[in-house]
Amino acid sequence: MADETTTAPPDLAVDVTALTALLDGQHADIRRTVRELLPAYASVLEDAETMPRDEFRDRVRDVVLEIADTGAVAMGFPSEYGGGGDLGASIAAFETLAYGDLSVLVKVGVQFGLFGGAILQLGTDRHHDAYLSDLISGRLLGCFAMTETGHGSNVQALGTVATYHPETSEFVITTTTPDAGKDYIGNAARHARVGVVFAQLEVGGEGHGVHALVVPLRDEQGAVLPGVRIEDDGHKMGLNGVDNGRIWFDGVRVPREALLNRFADVTEDGTYTSDIESPGRRFFTMLGTLVQGRVSVGAAGVSAAKVALTIAVRYGLVRRQFDTGAEDGAEQRLLDYGLHQRRLLPRLARTYALHFAQQVLAADLHDVFSGITADEDARRLLESRAAGTKALSTWLATDVVQECREACGGAGYLSVNRFAALKADTDVFTTFEGDNHVLLQLVGKGLLTDYASDFSDLDQLGMVRFVAGLAVETVLERTRVHQLLEQIREVLPGGSDDWDTDSGLLDPDYHLAMFRFREEHRIGGAARRLKRGVDAGMNPGEVFSRVQDHVISAAHAHVERLVLESFVEKVAATEDGELKLVLNALCDLFALSVIEADAAWFMEHGRLSAQRSKAVTREVADLCRRLRPVAGELVDAFAVPVELLRSPDLLGPDA
């Protein structure tokens, strides 16, 4: 990102094929395979609008089984069971599937990500040998039964109980209260024969916290088994090709071997054993192995945003409105209007930014789970980054789909133009695999405690007490952003206190300094408020409640800083000169549009004058105008198969 000069910046040009290759990254082959596969199932988009619900659910199941036959959705499983042995490729395949019907995507996620992932990551050889080949092939459909009517985010308080009976070497699974029924469980209402069920484990009268067991739900003919009761959750806002249901258990017996025993086991005589002594750490270690789901959902959110932007930008390039006095009398294209550029292009830049952030996250996931990076700190940082990136990526989808729908006017409201399904089907992304605010709360807890060794044992109240026992300076010094900020201050033209200088608005060091300052200040502010509350004798629960918004704000700033760093690093690593210029402009637009949106905060904290704030706004508009000539190429590089765009009313019959 070049410094400001008096000369006009060079015109931008985009080689779409080269940019697609850069976006595809190291897993270009599997992304291309899935893109070539998807047009055959484009009719599912219409089926979602025309088929009765049960018929459409079966149609989605059949598509999932056909895709399973190609091997495209089994990339993350070991090769000896029919998988591809590449977790990064698995994420890339899932991300690309999100260009198509999202009921198909979510059913793939339930079967291969949640159900299959739980057996792979929480089970041992006996479970892998018994289930993986059949679930990978689709011969055995299953579900992931964690959430209950009364407990979603607070998994540790689930009401389902699995009691061990040594005389028969069985666990007896019981739904203890009405609100302990499993709820919103994908695949449960119609297709799952087996479930991974999370329950409180009781052995010899002693509770050992939440563990997972493999529990049969239906026989081979699809009849619900004795002791199991299943109901349909009913019609949903979207994703009605996925059969979400409720499950209750009345004394269902499963053998001792049904316990997924990677982290804990029960001997035949009823002795509970685990290599992880702390119940809290054991629980969080177990959940940490399931982080792939959050990475996948975030990736799908970015893909949905790409589809919406492809449609809206293309429409903006062909739709004309109002005579501008041109000699040929032609009306002006929508995307030539400054306001239309302002609505779409900063969101396009943010989508690029989160794409590259997702690439970094997927690489980290692969390294941790393949053992390349094996230390505990790396795992904790992965869990935090996955939680935060999932939140920002799924909020991106919600925001982009809505703005793109509006940017297409009344035509965008017609189902054939995809926005209705995109809006309905992605809305739940912000709350499944973790409510976004709860996920950012987890990120904030990690920041405030520096992912301390006893971090996993700290609940909300424990975090308050932990932070209250430290000096605020200690909290800040323990964070990586503090060291980064000290380094960046050294390159600011007037020193550490001279933020409103002639430093170029297009200087990445300036962008990083602003993002890092905001993060550090918000972490420190949250810590000070927590300490003041405890020092004043307030109840820790009340203290946390009052400071909760500051904790989440700090977490949000932290994740945006990580996203910007990912983008800056990608620009620096790009060797193609033309692509580098384009990515420069997109990265500048992302950074400055974030600063502009938070200008009031930066001004309140002495990091942005009124004059410089106006300069930021002018620069955002200039960047939008500069990117306008290549906007079509920038969305074409997403390589959404044209058959999946539909939208004849927006793009013409040949779209």
Catalytic residues: 433
Burial of 641 (0-12, 13-18, 19+ CB in 10 A): middle
Task: Compute, in degrees rounded to 10, the torsion defined by CA atoms 173, 174, 179, 183.
Answer: 30
Integer Cα distance of 646 and 400 in angstroms: 18
Neighbour-count burial of 375, counting CB atoms closer than 10 A to its CB (0-12 exposed, 13-18 middle, 19+ buried): exposed
Contact (Cβ atoms closer than 8 angstroms) between residue 349 and residue 571:
no
CA distance 95 to 585: 25
| Distance from C-alpha of 307 to C-alpha of 352, rounded to nearest angstrom | 13
Listed in sequence order, the residues at least 6 apart from 281 whose beta carbon sits closer than 8 Å to its beta carbon are: 456, 457
Amino acid at the residue 17: T
Cα(277)–Cα(128) distance, integer angstroms: 25
Distance CA 279, CA 382 (A): 21
Rounded to whole angstroms, the Cα distance separating 347 from 524 reads 30
Q: Residue 25 in 3-state DSSP?
A: helix
CB 176 within 8 A of CB 159: yes
SS3 for 148?
strand
Residue 367 neighbours by CB distance under 10 Å: 16
State the helix-helix crossing angle for 540-573 and 376-407, rounded to 10 degrees.
80
Q: How far apart are CA 373 and CA 385, in angstroms?
A: 15
Shortest CA distance to 241 belongs to which of 59, 420, 36, 43? 59
- Element spanning 198, H or E: strand 194-203
